Amino acid sequence: MGKIHAGATLTPSFRDFLPAWLAGQPWYDGKGSPRPVGFLRFEDPAGQVGVETHVLRDGEAVYQVPLTYRPAPLAGGALVTTAEHSVLGTRWIYDAVTDPVWIAAILGLVATGGTSDPAARSGFGPAEARGRLIRAPLVPEAVTIDLDRRIVPESTPEDAIGVVTGSWHEDGSVKSGRLAVLRQTGPKT
């Protein structure tokens, strides 16, 4: 889903289903009232899959929920919900960590030292993710992506071969943190 359809609606909307879904996850340790504070957008080179990471706050904790939305079911994917897009029709929305398009986007972001696509939506300031390769080569088949579901301060663990950091606007100021660490799983080349 490379193209953004201005004025399109999603039913249920992210604001309707995402806070409750987040509050029901085993890794969530908040009070059960997360509120959206921003989102990051990534481009699917094939233009078929929407790739976004939603940022939500619950008290002092800030969580990220990477999602993909597809025109058809994804075998083996972790389905979050289905929704009706006013232009594109039914979308199957997945926890992106199970989606190869999201995995490729994160690997590409780190390999190139790139940034996510510009993201702006009514009610949210601009946000972006940045990738940084620490040790080359990055061999996708020998890398794990350890997602910081609860966003932590920016840091680089000793065993990291790459990191993803992010920034977003919240309550009039820029906030930032570490989103993921890439680690090598196979033998070093």
User: pLDDT per residue over 95-124, tens digit each?
Assistant: 999 999 999 999 999 999 999 986 656 667
Q: Within 10 A of 160 (CB to CB), how many other CB atoms are there?
A: 20
Look at residue 161 and tell me if it is in a domain: yes
Look at residue 95 and tell me if it is in a domain: yes
Residue 133 is part of which domain span?
10-184
Buried b / exposed e along 123-156 (16+ C-beta atoms within 10 A)? ebbebbbbbebbeeebeeeebebebbbebeeeee
- Please tell me the predicted confidence (pLDDT) of residue 5: 63
Look at residue 4 and tell me if it is in a domain: no
Look at residue 189 and tell me if it is in a domain: no
- Please tell me the predicted confidence (pLDDT) of residue 7: 67
Tally of structural domains, the chain: 1
- The pTM (predicted TM-score) of the whole model is 0.90
How far apart CA 68 and CA 146 sit, in angstroms, is: 18
Give strand pairing partners of 85. 10, 89
Tokens of 145: 């992506």
- Please tell me the predicted confidence (pLDDT) of residue 75: 95
Look at residue 1 and tell me if it is in a domain: no
Look at residue 119 and tell me if it is in a domain: yes
Contact 66, 52 (CB under 8 A): yes
Residues in the chain where the model's pLDDT stays below 50: 1-2, 189
Instruction: Show the DSSP H helices in the chain as ranges.
Output: 14-23, 100-112
Q: Which residue has the tokens 């699917």?
A: 44
Look at residue 150 and tell me if it is in a domain: yes
12 to 20, 49, 80: CA distances (angstroms): 12, 18, 12
- Please tell me the predicted confidence (pLDDT) of residue 6: 65
Look at residue 47 and tell me if it is in a domain: yes
Signed CA dihedral, 84, 90, 94, 96: sign only: negative
Tokens of 176: 């930032």
110 phi and psi, to 5 degrees? -75, -45
pLDDT digits (tens, 9 = 90+) for 19-44: 889 989 999 998 877 888 888 889 88
